[in-house]
């Protein structure tokens, strides 16, 4: 049972740290496309999951479950962030000006 609580604490810590990372982002020129931001955020999620994977406790089934929970929670935070970024990009568009897509 101690492993379960330890993993829950790690998930909570990971979510808090990931949220801090997202809240530190400043959107200014040059802006990147929505697709590129999705790639960046997906890389961040993978980085956090891989980092916390090393610290999960318990049997493999417990660790897998905890990592899945962490992944789901980070995906929720990431999705919310990407919606805000998409709204920001839309607010920066001008009728005759589109963001470059690389």
Residue 69, helix vs strand vs coil: helix
pLDDT tens, 4-36? 889 999 999 999 999 999 999 988 878 899 999
pLDDT tens, 22-80? 999 988 878 899 999 999 999 999 999 999 999 999 999 999 999 999 999 999 999 99
67-to-25, 27, 81 alpha-carbon distances in Å: 25, 30, 21
Written as six digits, the tokens of 58 are: 């318990």
Q: What is the pTM of this model?
A: 0.85
Residue 86, Cβ neighbours under 10 Å: how many? 13
Task: Give every CB contact of residue 83 below 8 A, 6+ residues apart in sequence.
Answer: none
């Amino acid at each position: 049972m101690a492993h379960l609580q330890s993993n829950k604490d790690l998930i909570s810590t990971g979510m808090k740290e990931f949220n801090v990372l997202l809240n530190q982002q400043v959107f200014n020129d040059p802006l990147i496309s929505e697709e590129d931001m999705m790639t960046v955020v997906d890389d961040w999620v993978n980085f956090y999951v891989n980092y916390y994977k090393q610290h999960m406790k318990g049997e493999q089934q417990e660790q897998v479950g905890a990592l899945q929970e962490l992944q789901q929670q980070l995906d929720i935070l990431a999705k919310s962030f990407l919606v805000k970024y998409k709204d920001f990009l839309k607010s920066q568009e001008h009728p005759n000006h589109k963001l470059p897509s690389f």
